Amino acid sequence: MLDVTKETFDKEVLSSKLPVLVDFWAPWCDPCRIVGPVLDKLSSEYTNKLKCTKLNVDDNQEISAKFDVRGIPCMIVFSEGKELDRIIGAYPEETLRRKIDLILAKA
């Protein structure tokens, strides 16, 4: 998964031709560390359908605040520069896949 920062967020997320999932996370967050490997696996499965990225909330507080991220893990899917939907919390792989599929159906 691609790490995005305040410097690369607009280019990699908001200007992307593909829908983009942004995993808002922090190194100290145990549920985030559980979700990370699952998203790594899913990102390879969704090649050419969904771009998967992650953003460290501690290092990029301005972006977290801009999108009203109040708890992590929080995954926001953007399409054409706008928020399409969000997934809040840690879920098993099958549940995440189902939620992502439902969101992509709206894109």
Distance CA 32, CA 24 (A): 8
Q: Active-site residue 29, yes or no?
A: yes
Catalytic residue among 29, 35, 50, 87: 29
Catalytic residue among 32, 42, 76, 77: 32
φ and ψ of 92, to 5 deg: -65, 160
Question: Catalytic residue positions?
Answer: 29, 32
